Amino acid sequence: MSQVNEIEKKLKEPFQRSDIGFRIVKVNKNNRKALALAYITSRAVMDRLDEVFGCEKWSDEYQVLEIGVTCKLSVKLNGEFITKEDAAPFTSIEALKGSFSDALKRAAVKFGIGRYLYSLPDIYVELLENKPEDEIGRIHLYHSNELSGWWVEPSLPDWALISKDKVPVPGKQKKILKQNKTVQPEIPHVKLLRQLDNLLQCGVVPKQKFDECRQKIIAPDTGPGLFRYFEKQFSLLEVLHVLSGRNVMSEEKEAAIYKKIINCKLRGLSAIENELKALEAA
C-alpha cells in the first residue's frame, strides 16, 4: 500500500464513542419523536490531523463572512500542501466560535475525516416528559416553544466505532482495561461538561455561570465531591427548565428556585428536589 493510500485509510478510520455527539435537527411534536444527527467534535478532528500528519504538517485558515465563516484546511503530502475549503453559517450559541468549529469539521470531511457518519441511517429518539433515572447513555434536554423533554443518545453500530483495542486509555487505567477487557464508563468531568453545555444552549445558565462551572470542572484538583454536587445541581436546573415550559409556577417562583439551586450546598439540594417533584405532580 502506498503512503498516500495509508494516510487516506487512517484519515477515514472510525472514531471512539467519546468523540461522537448527537444533536436534534427535526422534531415531530405529534409523536414526540426527534431526528438525531451524529457528528464528531472539532477536537477529535484536530487530534486525528495530529495523529496522521503531526502538528507541524497541517494548518487551518479562516475568513469571517457576512453570514458565516470559511475554513481552508491544508495538509502536507509528499512535500506539498493540499488545501480543501468549506464554510459554515453562524451558530445560535456562541455564533463565531461555533461557526469556526463547524467550518473546520466540514473542511475535514473533504479529506474523509468523519465522512462515514453520513452513511448512518436516520436515527430517531423519543422526547421523554420525565428524566430517565436508570439510563446508562448520555441524557440531554431539548426545549422549544412548542415542546420540551429529555432524550437519550442512541447507540451506534459497531462499524461506526473504532475497535475497542484501539481506544487510547490513560496510563493508570491501561492495565485494568487489559485485564478486564472492558471499556470504562464515561469520565465524570466529560459527562458534566456535556450536561453544562446543554444547559447553556437551552438558555438555562448564562455564559458567565457556564464559564465559572467549566473552570471548576476541568481543574486538576477537583474531587468526586464537587462532581456529585454539579451532577445534582445540573439535573435540578434541567427539571426547573422543563417545569418552566409547562407554566406550573410564576416567574417569581421560578427565579427564586433557580437562585436556591445555584447557591445551595449539596446537602440542601434534596429539599429543592422534593419541592420540584411537588410542583411536577401538581
Structure confidence by residue, pLDDT tens digits, 74-120: 999 888 999 999 999 987 666 778 889 999 999 999 999 999 999 99
Most confident of 85-89, 159-163, 164-168: 85-89
pLDDT digit string, tens, across residues 47-68: 999 999 998 999 999 999 988 9
Domain ranges of the chain: 187-282
Measure the CA dihedral 230/234/235/238, to 10°: 180
DSSP string, the chain: --HHHHHHHHHT--B-GGGEEEEEEEEETTTTEEEEEEEE-HHHHHHHHHHHH-GGGEEEEEEE-SSEEEEEEEEEETTEEEEEEEEEEPPSSSHHHHHHHHHHHHHHHTTTTTGGGGGSPPEEEE-BSS--SS--S-EEEEE-SS-EEEEEPPP--GGGB--GGG----HHHHHHHHHH--PPPPPHHHHHHHHHHHHHHTTSS-HHHHHHHHHHHH-TT--HHHHHHHHHHHHHHHHHHHHHHTT-S-HHHHHHHHHHHHH--GGGHHHHHHHHHHHHH-
Distance CA 4, CA 9 (A): 9
Note if the pTM is more than 0.95. Answer: no
231-256 pLDDT tens trace: 889 888 988 888 877 777 888 888 89
